Amino acid sequence: MRSKLTLKPAVDYATGSNAKGRQMANYTQVVDSGCPIRSYFGVAQADTDSSLKAGQRGPSLLEDYHFREKISHFDHERIPERVVHARGAAFHGEFVLHTAIPEYTSAAVLNDTSRRTPVFLRFSTVAGSRGSADTVRDVRGFAVRFYTEEGNWDIVGNNIPVFFIQDAIKFPDVIHAVKPEPHNEIPQAQTAHDNAWDFFSLTPETAHMMLWTMSDRAIPRSYAMMNGFGVHSFILVNAEGKRHFVKFHFKPKLGVHSLVWDEALKLAGQDPDFHRRDMYDAIEDGNYAEWEFGVQVVPEEKEHDFDFDLLDATKLIPEDLVPVKYIGTLTLNRNVSEYFPETEQVAFCTQHIVPGIDFSNDPLLQGRNFSYFDTQISRLGGPNFNQIPINMPLCPVFNNQRDAMHRMTINKGGANYWPNRFDAPHPVPPQKGGFLSEPLPVSGTNIRARGEKFSDYLSQAQLFYNSMSDVEKKHMVFAFSFELGKVDDTGIHERIVVRLNEIDHSLAKQVAVNIGQPVPPNTTKNHGKKSAFLSQIDGKAQSFTPKGRKVGILLYDEFDTAPVLALQTALKAAGTMAMIVGPRKGSVTSGATTLPTQFTFETCRSTHFDAIYVAGGTGEAYTRGLNTGRLIHAVREAYMHQKPIAVSGSAVEWLQRIALPGEVSPAISGEGKVEVEKGVVILEGATESPQFAKTLIDLLAKHRVWERDVGHIAA
């Protein structure tokens, strides 16, 4: 695999088309064999292995500045991890607009189709600490920075379009509740504990988001297969000052797809870096992840036309009511050179907007606009975090702020106040690009309360549940059963069953049975409405493609070369990664053919792949190999996870013998023939077959073989 320390960070982007890359190249140094170790004040060091001592076995000497510098720096290497979204990975890329929207906004980044705007996107989980696993059940952060010519614009979003709470003042409560419990710091990176469900059960506004986090959305297959949502209503302002509410959407070109829960649990141990590695390797291989960027726009005068409040972040605007207009493409195409200075030090802030974009009165957003700047001050050590290269805008920064910790910029000139006699850093009017909040009449009584429609917490929870396919509903039942099964307080169980019963009786009934609660009476008033856009399996917004998928090709020496080589070629052409898994690191050989192995049977499991192909081969050793426990387990496990499975040659007879659960055994029908049953594809003999490859690729594009009944193992 590629994820290893690169000693020579590439700075070829210094001359590339990405303006942010060129800017950061000025702060990037190549570390190579020509670099002597120097102290922080530049003096080359002759020995960094032994400290200076009074005699070979004597005490260390205070004068050893090199020792003190090295140890002291190490002592202070850690900064506070993010209080939420601590675990994440970020990637560089660019945004290209294909459709200008001057009718909605004057923002140049949303009007100038000739620009290539550099972006930096950080994906994250919310609850876990920095060292937790990628595949836990959680919301994923989707924080995008656009380095526009007019300054940085940050959409600090999630992969789920709604949020747990409506008012920022509740944020410390929801986060304290979902994080590990205070007395024993258990459990890490999961909501499967009493405090989280206590809070959910006592806070009705969490109902909608609770369903999303118990759905497959919370266990994505890949960063590249998740949506991004700005969540809040923002405001777009056009050149005439006309305002529209807007929700921002990012739709992945690879479709929205998920792991199954059993797989996610196993991967958390087998490869805690599963998502970041997947994206890192894809970028190194030139398989760039892409999203369509869209806006869902509501004119200001239609603000009250909905039965929900546009200012309530626990509600989405159904696409059935307001379609998303897709206007550009975001591509991730470059890995960071060093994690800490880029990914760890990036400081996203919701209040980073550019002229033409403004905030709505969403009380969650309003609170966030305070919180993000505030948190960076303690996380990054002061208010000068904007001078860290990854946070610097592309345009020059002049203002009258001065001093503070870690000041980098040196200003030449006599004034650090306004007005001043030099007309030095001065405000500019909107006509010259100055940001000015649109004049808006505001009135009201000083009151701690929320909009009336905020109290409808059930309608959209029902809409979401009703819109799920049967498979997705089943997954949700088991997700609730897992989480609540880890809750000990039966009072919480009772309250959650009551809440679920308000949403949907069948859901409440199934969960109640699984957690040992009495089935509640059927008092649900489910409105029965559905959205055509919310399901991952049959939703209208979904796309299905074999691109970005991984197929594990399991084989030994003396494998049948013709079908293996042909499948490799076909997969590559389909944009699918074929990975050879063999008995050893290095390579496998058959006659004159040698193939490098990406994994060995010890270093991976079926969970690393979207489909498994077990090739046939010749000789007794090959048959012995096929009969090892690892191989048999890999195929059975992939089968239970509803993944396509392919076999050819001698592996066909082997597959019939190892008896897959559910007793699938496609008919054997003669040399060169292809048969398929419940997502198991067999190729008789050792010839190449375009039909074999096509059948497997078609299955792969559908993501899973949902019609294969495997009980609830995969849920």
If the CB atoms of residues 135 and 648 are measured against ligand HDE, the closer one turns out to be: 135
- Among 109, 110, 136, 168, contact with ligand HDE (rule: CB under 6 A): 168
Q: Tell which residue, 334, 276, 343, has the closest CA to residue 3.
A: 276
Interaction with ligand HDE in 24-83: which residues (CB under 6 A)?
A: 82-83
If the CB atoms of residues 208 and 368 are measured against ligand HDE, the closer one turns out to be: 368
Whether the Cβ atoms of residue 429 and residue 180 lie closer than 8 Å to each other: no
Phi, psi at 291, each rounded to 5°? -130, 145
Q: Determine whether the annotation assigns residue 339 to a binding site.
A: no
- Among 13, 146, 163, 454, contact with ligand HDE (rule: CB under 6 A): 163
Whether the Cβ atoms of residue 624 and residue 601 lie closer than 8 Å to each other: no
Min separation Cβ 672 and ligand HDE, Å = 52
Min separation Cβ 447 and ligand HDE, Å = 19
Total residues in contact with ligand HDE, by rule CB under 6 A:
26
Name the token pair of 265: 């649990």
Name the token pair of 171: 């944020």
Is residue 143 within the footprint of ligand HDE (CB under 6 A)?
A: yes
How far apart (Å, rounded) are the C-alpha atoms in residues 28 and 342?
11
Min separation Cβ 319 and ligand HDE, Å = 18
- Among 188, 371, 589, 618, contact with ligand HDE (rule: CB under 6 A): 371
Answer yes or no: 158 catalytic: yes
Residue number closest to ligand HDE, CB atom: 141
How far apart (Å, rounded) are the C-alpha atoms in residues 476 and 468?
10
At residue 654's C-alpha, the angle toward residues 652 and 655, to 5°, is 65
- Among 93, 118, 128, 157, contact with ligand HDE (rule: CB under 6 A): 157
- Among 137, 243, 244, 368, contact with ligand HDE (rule: CB under 6 A): 368
If the CB atoms of residues 127 and 133 are measured against ligand HDE, the closer one turns out to be: 127
Min separation Cβ 165 and ligand HDE, Å = 7
Region near ligand HDE per CB under 6 A, out of 62-70, 187-195, 369-377, 465-473: 369-377
Phi, psi at 207, each rounded to 5°? -55, -45
Name the token pair of 481: 């059963």
CB atoms within 10 A of CB 304: 9
If the CB atoms of residues 230 and 328 are measured against ligand HDE, the closer one turns out to be: 230
Region near ligand HDE per CB under 6 A, out of 190-198, 368-376, 387-395, 615-623: 368-376
Q: Tell which residue, 454, 463, 503, 457, has the closest CA to residue 480.
A: 503
Q: Tell which residue, 175, 207, 183, 178, has the closest CA to residue 195.
A: 178
- Among 329, 375, 618, 665, contact with ligand HDE (rule: CB under 6 A): 375
3-state SS of the chain: helix, strand, coil percent to 5? 30, 20, 50
CB atoms within 10 A of CB 331: 18
Q: Could you give the 3-state DSSP secondary structure of residue 455?
A: helix
If the CB atoms of residues 369 and 514 are measured against ligand HDE, the closer one turns out to be: 369
- Among 110, 156, 177, 260, contact with ligand HDE (rule: CB under 6 A): 156
- DSSP string over 530-556: --TTS-TTT-TT----STT-EEEEE--
Instruction: Build a one-symbol-per-residue string for 271-310: x at contacts with ligand HDE by CB under 6 A, - elsewhere.
Output: ----------------------------------------
If the CB atoms of residues 340 and 418 are measured against ligand HDE, the closer one turns out to be: 340
Phi, psi at 326, each rounded to 5°? -90, 130
Look up tokens 């998928």; give the residue: 549
CB atoms within 10 A of CB 249: 22
If the CB atoms of residues 124 and 597 are measured against ligand HDE, the closer one turns out to be: 124
Interaction with ligand HDE in 504-543: which residues (CB under 6 A)?
A: none
If the CB atoms of residues 84 and 471 are measured against ligand HDE, the closer one turns out to be: 84
Min separation Cβ 387 and ligand HDE, Å = 17
Three-state secondary structure of 248-305: EEEEECCCCCECCHHHHHHHHHHCCCHHHHHHHHHHHCCCCEEEEEEEEEEEHHHCCC
Q: Which of 18, 111, 152, 158 is catalytic?
A: 158
Interaction with ligand HDE in 75-134: which residues (CB under 6 A)?
A: 82-85, 88, 122, 124
Q: Tell which residue, 189, 183, 192, 85, has the closest CA to residue 140.
A: 85
Min separation Cβ 142 and ligand HDE, Å = 6
What is the residue type of 535? S
Region near ligand HDE per CB under 6 A, out of 109-117, 127-135, 363-371, 455-463: 363-371
Min separation Cβ 440 and ligand HDE, Å = 21
Region near ligand HDE per CB under 6 A, out of 67-75, 154-162, 389-397, 425-433: 154-162
Characterize 562-582 residue by residue with b for buried, 16 or more Cβ atoms within 10 angstroms of its Cβ, and e for exposed: bbbebbbebbeebebbbbbbb
If the CB atoms of residues 168 and 503 are measured against ligand HDE, the closer one turns out to be: 168
If the CB atoms of residues 88 and 294 are measured against ligand HDE, the closer one turns out to be: 88
- Among 211, 231, 492, 515, contact with ligand HDE (rule: CB under 6 A): 231
If the CB atoms of residues 138 and 292 are measured against ligand HDE, the closer one turns out to be: 138
Min separation Cβ 464 and ligand HDE, Å = 17
* End-to-end CA, the chain: 29
Region near ligand HDE per CB under 6 A, out of 156-164, 402-410, 459-467, 496-504: 156-164
Q: Could you give the 3-state DSSP secondary structure of residue 343?
A: helix
If the CB atoms of residues 371 and 411 are measured against ligand HDE, the closer one turns out to be: 371
Min separation Cβ 136 and ligand HDE, Å = 16
At residue 329's C-alpha, the angle toward residues 325 and 335, to 5°, is 145
Name the token pair of 510: 């199934």
Is residue 146 within the footprint of ligand HDE (CB under 6 A)?
A: no
How far apart (Å, rounded) are the C-alpha atoms in residues 612 and 647?
8
Answer yes or no: 446 catalytic: no
Min separation Cβ 85 and ligand HDE, Å = 3
Look up tokens 């496998």; give the residue: 588
What is the residue type of 614? V
- Among 9, 204, 367, 666, contact with ligand HDE (rule: CB under 6 A): 367
Look up tokens 């850690």; give the residue: 78
| Interacting residues of 501 by C-beta distance below 8 A, sequence separation 6+ | 508, 520, 523, 524
Residues in the chain: 715
How far apart (Å, rounded) are the C-alpha atoms in residues 344 and 58?
40
Q: Which of 85, 249, 275, 352 is catalytic?
A: 85
Min separation Cβ 300 and ligand HDE, Å = 22
Q: How far is CA 623 from CA 333, 633, 674, in A?
A: 43, 16, 22
| Interacting residues of 446 by C-beta distance below 8 A, sequence separation 6+ | none
Is residue 18 within the footprint of ligand HDE (CB under 6 A)?
A: no
Min separation Cβ 444 and ligand HDE, Å = 20
Is residue 377 within the footprint of ligand HDE (CB under 6 A)?
A: no
Interaction with ligand HDE in 313-352: which residues (CB under 6 A)?
A: 313, 346-348
Phi, psi at 517, each rounded to 5°? -105, 150
Is residue 171 within the footprint of ligand HDE (CB under 6 A)?
A: yes
What is the residue type of 648? S
Catalytic residues: 85, 158
Instruction: List interacting residues with ligand HDE (CB under 6 A).
Output: 82-85, 88, 122, 124, 141, 143, 156-158, 163, 168, 171, 231, 313, 346-348, 364, 367-368, 371-372, 375
- Known binding-site residues for heme equal 372
- Known binding-site residues equal 372
